[in-house]
Amino acid sequence: MGLRKRKGKGSVVEPKGFIDLTEMPLIVPAETDARVKIIEVRTFEDLSVPAELAYKGNILFIRCTLPEENRKGAMETITAELKRIAKDCGGDMVIIGDSSVLLTTNGVKIDNMISKRKKKA
């Protein structure tokens, strides 16, 4: 059975009402100082600047240019601290590639659409 009603002879079809979007008021959010910031981190001590910017509500793209000696350990320490900052700010964090991090704040969640590849043995 169909969802349409059958119209009998002599019935009048009324035109549908449409909303004129030009008559609707435009709601613009208030200006904010929050921005997307691109930052470079070379040591753990450099995290004070990204932390301050994150607590102010900015979204951060962080490039980690770490020295080659103990690079893996330093990256793990830095990402652990950035995860803590993101959690404190109500945001999210994702590692991009080997040396970049995206950190959001104020409830902005990251929807990672990149499928994770399985490593072949």
Q: Which tens digit of pLDDT belongs to each residue from 12-60? A: 666 677 777 778 787 767 777 778 999 999 998 999 999 999 999 999 9
pLDDT of residue 115: 64
Q: pLDDT tens across 82-112, in order?
A: 999 999 999 999 999 888 999 999 888 888 7
DSSP output for the chain? --SSPPPPTT--PPPPP---GGGSPP--PPP-S--EEEEEE-SGGGGHHHHHHHHTT-EEEEEE---STTHHHHHHHHHHHHHHHHHHTT-EEEEETTTEEEEE-TT------SPPPPPP-
